[in-house]
Structure 1
């Protein structure tokens, strides 16, 4: 009854975990504190702090370790266990990518804001530019959706020649995420 795909499943899990680890490095390396304390509550800095918190959460949340017993012997049991680990690692990578993209949008906001301020502080003369910067951040953050991330990551995996035959569906990923919030 074994399908002979457990080696591919194992490689897929390793790839997903490697991607997740790389994303975690980027998430952990991003700044969370502005150089001017009065900027602490600005939208971009608040988003960066939330990304840091979300990155820690997705790293620290427990994996589902209960795997149902299946018939068919050790290969079928290994298949079931690998599929569960694949869902966990795929979902973690998905969430880490979402956090990373949100963080990148907030870091662009910091750069835009700094270029508007030119080393100075906010004042009535640059208020409309800063408001535009804030509005662009909100647009960028709203554009980061589960659907777009799922599609982009699947496309990237396919282009890299990765085995994606048993990747979880988006709704399974979303269910996994909701269960850990």
Structure 2
């Protein structure tokens, strides 16, 4: 899985921003009583970086590992021979899932901007990559859930037919299996997919503060199709 690289914290930031103001010559020689009264400490510029960029980089690595693990599972699934040509909905869904997984894998990853040593710029870039990686994992997971539903349907169909070719007498029971598949597919909502992702994240104690919610992903993926 690709390793997300981030710049180390700039060590210059450790120095006080007031250093450059030390020993600056006065424009005029102030009287002794004025020097104490007028001496002020320059204010440091607000630090926009929050020290969490390493945590963000780790989160990206976790998301990308999940994504590639799911893709590997999808690629390793061997479809039944009937899935290559059959027009039955379950087999058609299998072909669709395989095609969608390949298309998702080909999509370029988020790469906004050139590498920077500015911690705030790095922060914004990492936040964008977290969104991109979370959306990819979400979509891959949903495809995986669809494919598993289709595989369960195919397994139930195989058990019912017991090696026989489908005939008219099988139609009622095959229709019932098909309806079960449709109901299962309908139950695979974005909220359910997010819950599955979160369950894994929570079990591993992951940092989820900047992961996008299902509502955002639904809108985002809708615009990507």
- 1:41 and 2:83 matched: no
Q: How many residues align?
A: 178
Q: Residues 86, 177 of structure 1: CA spacing in aligned structure 2 closer, same or farther, 3 A cutoff?
A: same
Offset of 1:33 from its aligned partner? 5.3
Secondary structure of the equivalent of 2:169?
Answer: coil
Where do 1:1-181 residues align within 5 Å?
Answer: 1=47, 2-32=49-79, 34-35=81-82, 40-67=86-113, 74-181=118-225
Distance 2:203 2:111 in 1: 31
Structure 2 distance, partners of 1:124, 1:75, is 68
Q: TM-score when scaled to structure 2?
A: 0.73
Q: Deviations over 1:39-75 (max 9, x none)?
A: 611111100000011111211123343459xxxx711
| Alpha-carbon distance in 1 for matches of 2:97, 2:176 | 22
Relative to structure 1, is the Cα distance of residues 36 and 170 closer, same or farther in structure 2, using a 3 angstrom cutoff?
Answer: closer
Structure 1 pair 36/82, CA: closer, same or farther in 2 (3 Å)?
closer
Give the Å deviation of 1:6: 0.7
What do you get for the CA RMSD once the two structures are aligned?
A: 2.2
* 8 Å CA contact 1:17, 1:93 repeated in 2: yes
Render the CA deviation track for 1:78-133: whole Å, top value 9, x for unaligned.
11111111111100000000000000000001101100110001123322111111
CA distance in 1, matches of 2:82, 2:168: 21
Higher helix share: 1
Q: Which runs of 5+ in 1 are unaligned?
A: none
SS of the residue corresponding to residue 125 of structure 1 reads helix
Q: Which has the higher contact order (CA 8 A, sep 6+)?
A: 1
